[in-house]
Amino acid sequence: MVFKNIHVFRVKPGQELLAAITRYCRKSQVNSAIVLGIIGSLYNAHLKYVVRLPAMFKSSVYPGPLEIVAAQGTVARKGDDLIIHIHLQVASQQVCTGGHLTKAKVFSTAEVSLGELDYQLHRQTDAYTGLNELVC
């Protein structure tokens, strides 16, 4: 694995985090990357968890403000679709939790770091899990 480029950008207050990352990737033509990290804070976080296979999820909404403690993931293609897959850990004075990011509204800022790859990551629906898994 070789990084073709490193992208660092800010998502501003009030913006939806996942949508902003998707917009950035489309605008910058980033189709294959590793989410190296995200730091900042959120008004809220919508996270989901796989509870049963094939592809049965439970979703939870966590009110903020929340600090982003950790984030990692991938940017990949599934056919013509761009798939941004991020696992996020957030904390407040009352809770520390994490899961698969589905939606989050930025509070003060979100600083996103992506390592763009020199080859294309692909996803396809896995027959066993029912999920869009990386093709390796």
- How confident is the model over 4-54, as pLDDT tens digits? 999 999 999 999 999 999 999 999 999 999 999 999 999 999 999 999 998
DSSP 85: E
Amino acid at 112: V
- Alpha-carbon gap, residue 130 to 99, rounded angstroms: 18
Q: Which helix (H) or strand (E) holds 116?
A: strand 96-117
Please tell me the predicted confidence (pLDDT) of residue 55. 86
What does the pLDDT read at residue 47? 97
> pTM of this prediction?
0.94
CATH architecture of 3-134: 2-Layer Sandwich (3.30)
How many of the other CB atoms lie within 10 Å of CB of 5?
A: 12
pLDDT tens for each residue of 58-103: 999 999 999 999 999 999 999 999 999 999 999 999 999 999 999 9
DSSP 8-state code for residue 17: H
Residue type, 35: V
**Residue 1 pLDDT > 80:** no
